[in-house]
Structure 1
Amino acid sequence: MKKIITILTIGLSLTACVNEDVNTDPNSAYNTVPGSLVTYAQKELSDYVNTPSVNENNFRLTMQYWQETTYVNESNYDFTNRNVSNQIYSDNYVNVLNNLGKAKSIIEGYQPTASELAQWPANKKTQLAIIDILQVYTFQLLVDTFGNIPYTQAANLTQYPLPAYDDGATIYADLITRINTDINSLSSGTSNSFPTFSSGDKLYGGDPAQWLTFANSLKLKLAIGIADSNPTLAQTTATAAIAAGVMTSPANNAQFPYLPDSPNYNPLYENLEASGREDFVGGKTLVDYMNASNDPRRPGYFTTIGGQYLGLTIGEGGEFGNYSHAGDYAYTPDTPGNILTYTEVAFYVAEANARWNTATAPAAYTAAVTASILEWGGTTGEATAYLTTHPYDPINWKKSIGEQAWVAMYNQALTSWNFWRRLDFPVLLAPPTAINNAGGKVPVRMAYPVLEQQTNNSNWKAASTAIGGDLLTTKLFWDKF
């Protein structure tokens, strides 16, 4: 059993869906403070979302931002060879959700001292809401990756060693209900945090106001996710989230603060610089698109080769030194890890306006594109100039927002994958060398873990049948067009 070391302590390590005698790690610390478990869960979540490791997160390749140089399996959608889905389950169910669940149970069972008694109910409510928000975020991530997933029976190995899968649309509706409850809890306000919890929260230091903004922003993300599958619920949810107050500047960003030294540096740095490997360069699809408009973000995204930005053809190998590679951000150990950012939320606001409030859509689109350019060191003047060549098109707003969100989400590839599947822009073509299981297309979901087929076979079969087949080409319930 893998021992999981956190920044502060040893974390909880349990297998999510495997019925084995080794599920309980005798070396793990189960009696600990919730803040350390929250720290661990936040770091593991950030590590997964931000890592370029071919063993767990290949979405920079799928979205054609990067291309592999030597070993091109993952660029051609062979994710089975490395059991990538197994690692995605482990990252999220074991490392994130189980630890958050343990933190919840500790808080729920805590007996406050006499000096804490007066304020404890409010503190308890706030901390449980913060933990639940992180769980909601993680479950949405899993639904958006696989479709139907273990949910009501998930992360409870003792009672459900082989959990059933829940319907993705039903999960989404419940996540919206949960985030509304969390927002109500945070809106009631509190001043102090549970002992050690504020330092344990590495995203916002336990600040309820920041978490309230995050929760409203996540509520908007959930709403936009089902805009085509449940437009009525989506519109009411998005409208309420925006009115309540979503992110309005980078000061609201949820970013994990990595440190300069191992083992706490950014996973990009770990895989690109510390490893001494030269596995990735810029993908031709994105580099050519940005070159066509002299995009001001190119110096942040990529290096130059002989003064030019050069991308490698998708699916093909090549020499590292002949193509642009990732910019300095990826080779800096303490670059923060993105969980949810103002730029991302600005594009959700733009999409919400395009769908339901068209009069304000052009301004929201301009704000989103400008936010991205400023995020990468550009100026408002450069943003204005860029927008003259990429104006908002009210007739084909999906193309406008889809293409610009794709460029903007360069360092948030999982988010980019959602925009692309929902809006169908940009037009991405699978390489001719892609595996046969991709059906000549860019994947629209990840297949379930091989481990699930082996140990939870009956529930895996039922889930696979319910979604229309456990395939890379099976569209999720919200991917309607």
Structure 2
Amino acid sequence: MKIKYLATIISGTLLLSATACKKTIEDINKNPNASETGQPDYILTGVTKALADTYWGTSNNMDASLLWVQNWAKIQYTDPDRYIYTSTSFNELWGTGYTRGVVNLNALLKIADAQANPNYKGVALVLRSWVFQLLTDNYGDVPYTQASSINEFLTPAYDKQKDVYFAILDDLKSAQTFLSPSGPAIAGDIIYGTSSGANQILLWKKFANSLRLRIALRIADREPEKAKQVLADIQADGSGYISSNSETAQLVYAASPNQNPISNLFDTRDDYRISKTIVDKLFALNDPRLPVYASKTRDATPQTYVGLPNGLLVGDASSYGFTKTSKPGTYFLAPSAPAVIISYAEVLFDQAEATQRGFIAGNAADLYRQAITASLTQYGIGTADINTYLAQSSVAYDAANYRKSIGEQKWIALFGQGLEAYAEWRRLDYPQLTPAVAGTLGGKIPLRFIYPGTEQSLNGTSYNAAVASQGADALTTKLWFDVN
């Protein structure tokens, strides 16, 4: 891809080199024989892969959110599992989200206009909305308005989290108007690209609506009327939601070097085990997903699947034994394991909650059962086992405490999707997790990412304004959407 970049992007920030140097650098690096217009299919492929790698990768997933929601635990180098981080620990989501995500998707939006291809524009808006959702879910207030014009705003202001969510919802609504099955074809789509032309765009429309549903619930405790209106707009639009496991929005990886980041890490390292918290829960529920989520211990053990407590000191973690504790399941360690962005099961859980809240019509208990069924089917669980699982009183839907029913089952279904599971745990407050054994936050679990340290030094005025508005730049500061 030959894309014109304005200047060297400083790692982890939106800041560019000083404007006095910008023109000189551009002139020096300009290739008179190369096109300065990027190819939209190359941009789309590249940005999707970069975002999926970050979403599913080490810094944000394996070394943070998967530990905090106690899907995984660390058996070596346990500092992250004890909530010990530095000012550079959370640079990747910020840096990749903005410099490889927002910047390239903004470029794709401009190319889509220049080439009169609204379908590229709609896809770019959907992906950009997902990026901004990840950023605000985890940091809180983030640059949004000025992030679209980084050549004009070298030190972008932070928008309040409420405003970011509202803006994303507007963008996704706009995306629906641009996405047209009868419009021009798009290429480079590695999420739905195997579908035929018209169906491919219909799936993107469902993806957009499913994200709107997710974000409507994210704001529901603060802005219930806005959430209800968003869902009414979706109903009126008529494009529907993701409606089968085959429509799940995900990137299916291939063999090395394009393998799943988890597979890539486990090829050379042995730092992680499945958390005792989720293993115990799966045992308690006789959950048939246990052998999918966890590998058998290398040495024979009475339970076959053994989880590791979260947040142990290094010596204590090692004493459990590398061969007597379970790694994540082979499904997740496979090179081609998908990076799931939003699943059919999640969409059904979201519809169940929206129904229970009175935002949409339907039967919450039925949707809840359908959601569990979709999750089990996603992993190849058979009908007989599904029926046996659903028949348990411990799995039955409790309308009087829907947060617990949906929260716990959604937590199980989101296994591996650390960032989304983390956002939903904060929002629903279930499952009720016990902080890390040797945690460093005074008996608390982190509630957000801290901003990259470079923001303090390179965008200090905007950073300080955000901290003054939102609260201390600390792991324990509660974000706007996190009410309870």
Contact residue 118 and residue 184 of structure 2 kept, 8 A: no
Contact residue 220 and residue 242 of structure 1 kept, 8 A: no
- Cα deviation, residue 102, structure 1: 1.5
Aligned to 2:100: 95
Structure 1 pair 362/201, CA: closer, same or farther in 2 (3 Å)? Answer: same
Note the aligned Cα RMSD (angstroms): 2.3
Aligned to 1:104: 109
Q: For each residue in 1:276-326, what CA deviation from the matched residue of structure 2 results, as whole angstroms up to 9, or x when unmatched?
A: 210100111111111112210011101122252111111112232220111
Select which of 259, 265, 274 maps to 1:271: 265
Q: Please state if 1:453 is matched with 2:452.
A: no
Aligned to 1:227: 220
Q: Aligned partners of 1:386, 1:47: CA distance in 2, in Å?
A: 33
- Cα deviation, residue 56, structure 1: 8.0
Q: Aligned partners of 1:427, 1:400: CA distance in 2, in Å?
A: 12
Of 66-75 and 335-344, deviating more is 335-344
Structure 1 pair 237/308, CA: closer, same or farther in 2 (3 Å)? Answer: same
Aligned to 1:114: none
Contact residue 55 and residue 84 of structure 1 kept, 8 A: no
Structure 1 pair 310/130, CA: closer, same or farther in 2 (3 Å)? Answer: same
Contact residue 62 and residue 443 of structure 1 kept, 8 A: yes
Q: Please state if 1:433 is matched with 2:438.
A: yes
Q: Aligned partners of 2:207, 2:60: CA distance in 1, in Å?
A: 29
Select which of 155, 166, 177 maps to 2:170: 177
Q: Aligned partners of 2:147, 2:433: CA distance in 1, in Å?
A: 34
- Cα deviation, residue 348, structure 1: 0.9
For the residue of structure 2 that corresponds to 1:308, the secondary structure is coil
For the residue of structure 2 that corresponds to 1:84, the secondary structure is coil
Q: Please state if 1:293 is matched with 2:299.
A: no
Note the 1:73-84 alignment, pairs <5 A: 73-80=79-86, 83-84=88-89
- Cα deviation, residue 440, structure 1: 2.1
Q: Aligned partners of 1:152, 1:278: CA distance in 2, in Å?
A: 42
Structure 1 pair 84/155, CA: closer, same or farther in 2 (3 Å)? Answer: farther
Q: Which amino acid aligns with 1:257?
A: V
Q: Which amino acid aligns with 1:284?
A: K
For the residue of structure 1 that corresponds to 2:9, the secondary structure is coil
Contact residue 272 and residue 278 of structure 1 kept, 8 A: yes
Q: Aligned partners of 1:175, 1:156: CA distance in 2, in Å?
A: 17
Select which of 134, 137, 149 maps to 2:142: 149
The number of residue pairs the alignment matches comes to 451
Aligned to 1:348: 350
- Cα deviation, residue 429, structure 1: 1.7
Aligned to 2:306: 310
Aligned to 1:369: 372
For the residue of structure 1 that corresponds to 2:447, the secondary structure is coil
- Cα deviation, residue 157, structure 1: 2.8
Query: Percent sequence identity over matched residues?
Result: 33
Select which of 10, 15, 18 maps to 1:18: 15
Q: For each residue in 1:377-429, what CA deviation from the matched residue of structure 2 results, as whole angstroms up to 9, or x when unmatched?
A: 21232222222231000111110000111111002111111111111010112
Q: Which amino acid aligns with 2:78?
A: V
Q: Aligned partners of 2:63, 2:108: CA distance in 1, in Å?
A: 26
Q: Aligned partners of 1:57, 1:201: CA distance in 2, in Å?
A: 29
For the residue of structure 1 that corresponds to 2:273, the secondary structure is strand
- Cα deviation, residue 433, structure 1: 1.7
Of 236-245 and 100-109, deviating more is 236-245
Q: Aligned partners of 1:192, 1:458: CA distance in 2, in Å?
A: 44
- Cα deviation, residue 17, structure 1: 2.1
Aligned to 1:260: 255
Select which of 133, 152, 156 maps to 1:163: 156
Q: Aligned partners of 2:333, 2:382: CA distance in 1, in Å?
A: 23
Q: Please state if 1:64 is matched with 2:70.
A: yes
Q: Aligned partners of 1:170, 1:53: CA distance in 2, in Å?
A: 27
Aligned to 1:477: 480
Q: Aligned partners of 2:79, 2:3: CA distance in 1, in Å?
A: 34
Structure 1 pair 155/75, CA: closer, same or farther in 2 (3 Å)? Answer: farther
Structure 1 pair 239/100, CA: closer, same or farther in 2 (3 Å)? Answer: same
> Where has structure 1 moved over 6 Å in runs of 4 or more?
8-13, 22-25
Q: Aligned partners of 1:341, 1:204: CA distance in 2, in Å?
A: 13
Structure 1 pair 184/55, CA: closer, same or farther in 2 (3 Å)? Answer: closer
Contact residue 403 and residue 428 of structure 2 kept, 8 A: yes
Q: For each residue in 1:18-38, what CA deviation from the matched residue of structure 2 results, as whole angstroms up to 9, or x when unmatched?
A: 343698795998543011111
Unaligned 5+ residue runs, structure 1?
Answer: 1-7, 111-120
- Cα deviation, residue 55, structure 1: 9.0
Q: For each residue in 1:261-289, what CA deviation from the matched residue of structure 2 results, as whole angstroms up to 9, or x when unmatched?
A: 21x1111111112xx21010011111111
Structure 1 pair 208/434, CA: closer, same or farther in 2 (3 Å)? Answer: same
Aligned to 2:190: 202
Contact residue 119 and residue 184 of structure 2 kept, 8 A: no
- Cα deviation, residue 143, structure 1: 0.8
Note the 1:14-53 alignment, pairs <5 A: 14-15=9-10, 16-20=13-17, 26=29, 31-53=37-59
Q: Aligned partners of 1:55, 1:419: CA distance in 2, in Å?
A: 15
For the residue of structure 1 that corresponds to 2:414, the secondary structure is helix
Q: Aligned partners of 1:174, 1:20: CA distance in 2, in Å?
A: 28
Select which of 366, 391, 395 maps to 2:396: 391
Q: TM-score, normalised by structure 2?
A: 0.88
Structure 1 pair 54/354, CA: closer, same or farther in 2 (3 Å)? Answer: closer
Structure 1 pair 163/108, CA: closer, same or farther in 2 (3 Å)? Answer: same
Q: For each residue in 1:423-466, what CA deviation from the matched residue of structure 2 results, as whole angstroms up to 9, or x when unmatched?
A: 1010112124222xx34211111111111011111110110111
